[in-house]
Structure 1
Amino acid sequence: MSYCRGCGHQIHETAISCPQCGALQAQHNTNSQQVRADDSLWLPIPALICGLIPVLGLLAPEEPDKDQVLGIFLFAATAIVFGSISLARQKRGKGMAIAGVVLGGIGLLAAIGLLA
């Protein structure tokens, strides 16, 4: 437990504001929550997975039809978007994000080549 900066009332250490007087508490509480949100891997992992799917689809022995090429194109574009957002905003998982962007780029170029 900690004490309010405004009135001295005893409050929980994770409280953003005091329930007694409403005074905002130390900024380290919100900053620690922000750091934990930035440390999640919710974007790099989907970027990597969405980058792997088109490459694996291109390894099939038969020529893909138009629907498969469209799927390859969409997964590759999604990998590039997720990877780019992850690189711009997050600190962890940069290697997975880069791999997702690279694999997405390969899949995108291959899909364009198959459509032409």
Structure 2
Amino acid sequence: MSFCRGCGHQIHETAQSCPQCGAVTAHSTLAPAQGGSLWLPVPSLVCGVIVAFALFDPSDWDQDQVVGCALIAVVAIVLGGISLAKQKKGAGMAIAGLILGVVGLLGAIGSQL
């Protein structure tokens, strides 16, 4: 027998949740998945998409637009890199944000050449 972390009620070792308070046990398959949250990969992807859409603007860019695009691209790259290094969850979004950020940064630099 073990004890519930939520209320201290004695429960069976194989119980998925506490019958007294309903708290999920530590060894339960219902426990939340480990690996991080989506707070880093989602903003990375959003910034990467913004920069990628900005590259479709056919007009000539002034200095402010280039700097803004480059900064947003750097944010996408940094957030994507940190997300890939620190957590497993959202790795696909982090990779997409990282790639779009690099493409956007290269496009911003290329627009000044």
Tell me the TM-score normalised to structure 1 length.
0.68
What per-residue deviation string (whole Å, max 9, x for no partner) do you get for residues 33-79 of structure 1? Answer: 993xx431000000001111111111113122111111110010000
* Number of the residue aligned with 1:68: 65
Q: How many pairs does the alignment contain?
A: 91
* Number of the residue aligned with 1:50: 47
* Number of the residue aligned with 1:108: 105
What per-residue deviation string (whole Å, max 9, x for no partner) do you get for residues 12-44 of structure 1? Answer: 7159xxxxxxxxxxxx6xxx8993xx4310000
Which aligned runs of 4 or more in structure 1 are off by greater than 6 angstroms?
Answer: none
Identity of aligned residues (%): 50
Rounded to whole Å, the distance in 2 between the matches of 1:64 and 1:88 is 34
Tell me the TM-score normalised to structure 2 length.
0.70
Moved more, 61-70 or 81-90: 61-70
Structure 1, unaligned stretches of length 5 or more?
4-11, 16-27
What displacement does 1:109 show? 0.7
Kindly provide the amino acid, as one letter, of the partner of residue 92 in structure 1: K
Q: Following superposition of structure 1 onto structure 2, how do residues 15-94 of structure 1 map, counting pairs within 5 Å?
A: 35=34, 38-94=35-91
More helix by share: 1
